[in-house]
């Protein structure tokens, strides 16, 4: 199995609901360093997993749509704990939609899985891994 990973980041504000979150129930923020991994069992005719330029661009577009915002103000996340885990899945799912739409190029049709890891600090990170197709 082959994979390629590209890294970007977002900087957001949010708060959490639930005693389990302790002080993070207050409005605070985070830098999430975002690693997006693309997987496939065989390389394409160019000997690559995915067009890394397009993959980086699409990840940047998704990150830009989330970054420099207070996620609490986004109606899409109303009543949702925008945890690191949740955001990893959100970005992975948005990548899957763009892959299906051909925005990572025709070669990306051969991708079979995607994983997104969000690093919230030097001592904590979360991932979500899913299949494609």
* Interface residues toward a second copy, by CB under 8 A: 1-9, 11-14, 16, 18, 20-24, 26-33, 43, 46-49, 51-53, 56, 67-70, 73, 80-86, 88-89, 105, 107, 120-130
Nearest-approach distance from CB 131 to a second copy, in angstroms: 10
* CA separation, residue 121 to residues 58, 98, 128 (Å): 24, 28, 17
In the Cβ-directed half-sphere of 133, how many Cα atoms lie within 13 Å?
Answer: 9
Helix (H, G, I), strand (E, B) or coil at 6: strand
Name the residue nearer to a second copy (CB basis): 46 or 101. Answer: 46
Nearer to a second copy, 101 or 121 (CB): 121
């Amino acid at each position: 199995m082959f994979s390629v990973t590209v890294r970007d980041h977002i900087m957001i504000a949010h708060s959490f609901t639930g005693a389990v979150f302790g002080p993070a129930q207050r409005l605070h923020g985070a830098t999430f360093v975002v690693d997006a991994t693309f997987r496939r069992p065989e390389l394409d005719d160019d000997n690559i997993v995915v067009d890394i330029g397009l993959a980086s661009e699409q990840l940047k577009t998704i990150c830009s749509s989330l970054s420099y915002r207070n996620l609490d103000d986004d109606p899409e996340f109303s009543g949702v704990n925008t945890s690191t885990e949740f955001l990893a899945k959100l970005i992975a799912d948005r990548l899957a939609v763009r892959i299906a739409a051909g925005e990572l190029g025709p070669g990306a049709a051969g991708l079979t899985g995607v994983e997104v890891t969000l690093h919230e600090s030097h001592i904590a990170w979360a991932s979500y891994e899913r299949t494609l197709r």
